[in-house]
Structure 1
Amino acid sequence: MLKEEINKAFEVLKQGGLILYPTDTVWGIGCDATNAEAVAKVYALKNREDSKSLIILLDTDNKLQSYVSEIPDVAYDLIEYSEKPLTIIYSGAKNLASNLINADGSIGIRIVKHNFCEQLIQRFRKPIVSTSANISGEVTPANFGEIRQEIIDGVDYVVDLEQMSSEKKQASTIMKLEPDGKFAFIRK
């Protein structure tokens, strides 16, 4: 079942499509983080201004240097010791779709700790976009049952895992981390 869902999601990502998938936090709308056309589809589906950047998921912190110019050493400790899912905004984003990178050159990245996501990213060999499965400005759905039909209909594939779970999940903590190690919490 898991392998089958990874294969289906992989094919959709490879073709520039959108997936709706479970993560270590809330359900996410995802696409290839290096494909600007796919990223544009996410903004359109969410009715979100493309000046508000999206975050990406990686399966391991070893891949950070492929997408960020300077990684402060403290980032690795923060990732390792964080009790709950943590998205870190880094300066100097690179090798990503240009419409994904914030105007100041930063990108939010979460090292995901979720079996499906980790295996999908390993198979895809690229980061994937993860943004809450809602229309911009609306409340973030805490589980699959709260996702609007408009979002479900707007993606190319809905991953058939964890849909029946009624567990209320929360979005990740977001922290901006400067190259000199200074940081600030954006969302706790």
Structure 2
Amino acid sequence: MNQSTPMTTTSVRQAADCLKAGQLLAYPTESVWGIGCDPYNEAAVQRILAIKQRPQDKGMIVITDSITRLAPLLAPLNDAQRDAIVASWQTDSKRTDLQYKQAHTWLLPIPPKFADVIPVWITGQHQTVAVRVITHPMIRELCQQLVSAQNPFGLLVSTSCNPSGQPPAKNFTEAYAYFGEQISYLPAETLGYTLPSQIRDAITGSIIR
């Protein structure tokens, strides 16, 4: 199968191959569907911005599979800041009541030695990177497949699967209705979270969204 051609697949490995070949991929997250790509492929990121009609200066959320993998980005924070972030990523994975589960994205300052590791087309006009450890097991596995020398944090772009101004897709049917055969798809259920995802500043703890 030609991984450079958009496809619908239930194979995480095939989905990872699509991303590595520069494809855009729609996939389930905790509450809604996301659309993503290899964050180190500038052309792929620009395609997402184009089909979503989203300006680059807003920046892009990225996800990964492991708190440990992000340790170098968390290290410069103080204990209280780091504990709050880690607790937010651990708590939801342990909750059983979907009513209280919520995905948490944090704006992390980028340490100087990683300034060249996080692309400007991901950070936009910001000096931070918006990152989340995702709890969806299939997408965690997908992020693991993306780890490489260029992508040491196993990052995957994760912006809502919708054109700007439209509601995010909640399933494969809605995602396909938005983007058709322009992109690839990894059909599966979301985790059923009902609360919208939250974005917070790692330094101040303030809620951005």
Q: What TM-score do you get using the length of structure 2 for normalisation?
A: 0.75
Q: Is 1:20–1:152's contact at 8 Å kept on the other side of the alignment?
A: no
Aligned to 2:108: 90
Larger Rg: 2
Count of matched residue positions in the alignment of Structure 1 and Structure 2: 178
1:174 aligns to 2:199 (yes or no): yes
Unaligned runs of 5+ in 1: none
Cα offset, 1:69, TM superposition: 7.2
Moved more, 26-35 or 83-92: 83-92
1:44 aligns to 2:19 (yes or no): no
Pick from 175, 185, 194 the counterpart of residue 147 of structure 1. Answer: 175
Q: Is 2:105–2:199's contact at 8 Å kept on the other side of the alignment?
A: yes
- Percent of pairs with identical residues: 25
- Can you list the C-alpha shifts for 1:41-68, whole angstroms capped at 9, x where unaligned? 1111111111111101110111214556
Q: Is 2:10–2:187's contact at 8 Å kept on the other side of the alignment?
A: no
Q: Is 1:143–1:168's contact at 8 Å kept on the other side of the alignment?
A: no
Q: Is 1:67–1:96's contact at 8 Å kept on the other side of the alignment?
A: no
* Structure 1 residue runs of 4 or more that deviate by more than 4 Å after TM superposition: 66-69, 167-170
Q: What TM-score do you get using the length of structure 1 for normalisation?
A: 0.83
Q: Is 2:172–2:187's contact at 8 Å kept on the other side of the alignment?
A: no
In structure 2, C-alpha distance between the alignment counterparts of 1:14 and 1:128, rounded to whole Å:
11
Aligned to 2:140: 118
Q: Is 1:152–1:158's contact at 8 Å kept on the other side of the alignment?
A: no
Pick from 73, 89, 94 the counterpart of residue 82 of structure 2. Answer: 73
For the residue of structure 2 that corresponds to 1:185, the secondary structure is coil
Q: Which amino acid in the other structure matches residue 162 of structure 2?
A: N
In structure 2, C-alpha distance between the alignment counterparts of 1:169 and 1:42, rounded to whole Å:
25
Relative contact order (C-alpha < 8 Å, sep 6+): which is higher? Answer: 2
Q: Is 1:39–1:97's contact at 8 Å kept on the other side of the alignment?
A: no
Cα offset, 1:24, TM superposition: 1.7
Cα offset, 1:79, TM superposition: 2.2
RMSD in angstroms over aligned alpha carbons?
2.4
Aligned to 2:35: 29
For the residue of structure 1 that corresponds to 2:207, the secondary structure is strand
